[in-house]
Each structure stands twice: as structure tokens, then as C-alpha cells.
């Protein structure tokens, strides 16, 4: 019987295997960040597919996972979540003046009052 694993587990297993022979990956790989790595991979796939349905080869997914750690995307994610952006207050803008509606002279274009007839 074939055991099915969730994609994050497969990515983690592949990265752990590569880390045994890849010094750059071994230095920067953090197993606890595989979840954020997977979310980043999903975004990369959406960009690559331009939002259309499709598939990405597993080799590409594993390369993206390696790149996430080796190229510093993991550190970028950590600083992005650690430092929330400051919100600036918006200046109040006055509401535009609204013209009063004048009733239409054509009876067919007037609204029908359900309780009192045309009006």
C-alpha cells in the first residue's frame, strides 16, 4: 500500500535529504519554516500559471523550496511578519455635492409608488 503524504511533508523530506549533501541548504534550512515555504511556493505557482488551472512539475516545486531557504526568502518572510507596516491616517475629503433629482416629465419613466399610484 502506498502511503500518501501531504505536500509540505514531501517538500520537507526532500529538503532534509538534499541538506545532507548541499552545504548552502544545510546552513539555512529550518524545518519549522516549511509551512511558510509551502505558502510561498503556492504563490509562485499561481504567478507561473497566471491564475489559470494547471500543474507544476515536482522538480520545480522542490527547486523553489530550496531557493526559498538558500536565496533568503525565508529571512524576508521573517522580517515581513516581525515588522508590521505603520498605518498612516487618511485626510478627510469632503463628500461631493449631490444634485437634487428632478422628476422626469415622461410618465412612463417615473417610479411607481406601490401604495399611491404614479408619483
**What are the two backbone dihedrals, phi and then psi, of residue 54, each rounded to the nearest 5 degrees?**
175, -170
Is residue 118 one of the residues assigned to a domain?
Answer: no
Is residue 32 one of the residues assigned to a domain?
Answer: yes
Is residue 96 one of the residues assigned to a domain?
Answer: no
Is residue 34 one of the residues assigned to a domain?
Answer: yes
Is residue 2 one of the residues assigned to a domain?
Answer: no
pLDDT at residue 26 tops 90: yes
Instruction: Give per-residue pLDDT as tens, 67-115.
Output: 999 998 877 766 665 555 556 666 666 655 655 555 545 454 444 444 5
Residue 52 sits in which domain range? 7-78
Is residue 35 one of the residues assigned to a domain?
Answer: yes
Is residue 51 one of the residues assigned to a domain?
Answer: yes
Total domains in the chain come to 1
Amino acid at each position: 500500500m502506498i502511503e500518501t503524504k501531504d505536500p509540505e511533508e514531501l517538500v520537507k523530506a526532500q529538503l532534509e535529504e538534499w541538506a545532507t549533501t548541499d552545504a548552502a541548504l544545510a546552513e539555512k534550512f529550518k524545518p519549522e519554516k516549511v509551512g511558510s515555504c509551502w505558502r510561498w511556493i503556492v504563490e509562485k505557482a499561481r504567478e507561473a500559471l497566471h491564475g489559470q488551472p494547471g500543474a507544476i512539475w515536482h522538480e520545480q516545486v522542490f527547486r523553489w523550496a530550496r531557493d526559498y531557504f538558500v536565496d533568503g526568502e525565508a529571512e524576508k518572510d521573517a522580517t515581513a511578519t516581525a515588522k508590521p507596516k505603520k498605518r498612516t491616517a487618511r485626510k478627510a475629503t469632503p463628500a461631493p455635492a449631490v444634485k437634487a433629482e428632478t422628476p422626469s416629465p415622461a410618465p412612463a419613466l417615473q417610479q411607481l409608488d406601490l401604495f399611491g399610484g404614479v408619483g
